[in-house]
Amino acid sequence: MKKIAFFDAKPYDRPWFEKYGLEAGMEFKFFETKLNEDTVDLARGFDGVCAFVNDTVDAPVIDTLYDFGIRVVALRCAGFNQIDLKHAEGKLTVLRVPAYSPYAVAEHAMAMLLTSIRRIHKAYIRTRDFNFSLNGMTGFDLHGKTVGVVGTGRIGRVFIDICRGFGMHILAYDKYPAADLSVRYVPLEELFARSDIISLHCPLTEETYHLIDRSSMPALKRGVIIINTSRGALIDAEALLEGIKSRKIGAACLDVYEEESEWFFKDYSGHIVEDDVLARLISMPNVIVTSHQAFLTEEALSNIAETTVSNLTAFFSGAPLTNRVTPPKEPVGV
């Protein structure tokens, strides 16, 4: 039986991984701590490691895992910016879950948008105090508005379909446009200038880091609503705060945050949050923050566990690795 060290474990992870792990003859040891240079020793004696979005699989961690005889890291997520792929090459095989439930994330993005523009979160609080006034609750129709979708992978495509159902005009940007997708692709600058709503569904790379920052802020349409259910560092959080204060940005719906690894997935309700930017964003009446929960549906959790276990089974059995992650190839001549 293969033993897998499972880091950053949450109560909702265990039933699914125990179920599929048992069926595959695999034993998961669940650690609540995140994987990093200080905790990597917990992986000693295991056959593999299972990591999540806020674990740190950098060069020192990779070298230590390799010294322990570990040769596989199974990411139970789609993104892989948390791992140094170049350093892992030749040492560790990195596997991921590319599509656990695009519907979960896309539906959450739309849920946040509707909550924001129709003031549902405010209405919920107000009516619980038996305050039935409608003052300050005016929203606007999505029908006829222009939404810019950055990233047209599986999640972006589902979000586009949802927006079509609302009768919205859709603009899209992707470094690699999809030939089979009936949508109007435009340069990023045009998407920024024309979109009433911008939803980010692209991976975090060197090119997309701080896609929205002080330099790109002037290109945005005044009053734009920004949705981010992808990776926090796509947006410069301080620049976002400045944009909200200056009224350049009309609202923000954030399921991810640039420095979320220090805060998300934990209960700080009885503590003072020392991240001033996060605290100020949450205090803004036109900002909705959820704690990286867009993926969190029963269907997604089942798919994540099943695919992760299948990835590990394929690795240990020598079968083809369809979900392997490799470092990007350097351009010819570089």
Pairing of strands 224-228, 249-254: parallel
Q: How far apart are CA 39 and CA 213, in angstroms?
A: 33
Measure CA 149 to chain center.
15
Residue 231 is a catalytic residue: yes
* Catalytic member of 76, 201, 292, 306: 292
- Rounded distance, CA 319 to CA 72, Å? 14
β-bridge mates for residue 228, sequence order = 200, 254
Secondary structure letter of residue 212 according to DSSP: B
Q: Let me know if 260 is a catalytic residue.
A: yes
Q: Is 110 helix (H, G, I), strand (E, B) or coil?
A: helix
- Which residue of the set 76, 201, 258, 260 is catalytic? 260
CA–CA gap between residue 280 and residue 292 (Å, rounded):
18
In 203-282, where do the E strands start and end?
A: 224-228, 249-254
In sequence order, the 6+-apart residues with CB closer than 8 A to the CB of 66 are: 91, 92
Give Cα 204 to chain centroid, integer Å. 9
Phi, psi of 207 (to 5 degrees): -75, -30
The H or E element spanning position 280 is helix 276-283
Residue 324 designated active-site: no
- Active-site residue (options: 108, 231, 258, 306): 231
Catalytic residues, by residue number, are: 231, 260, 292
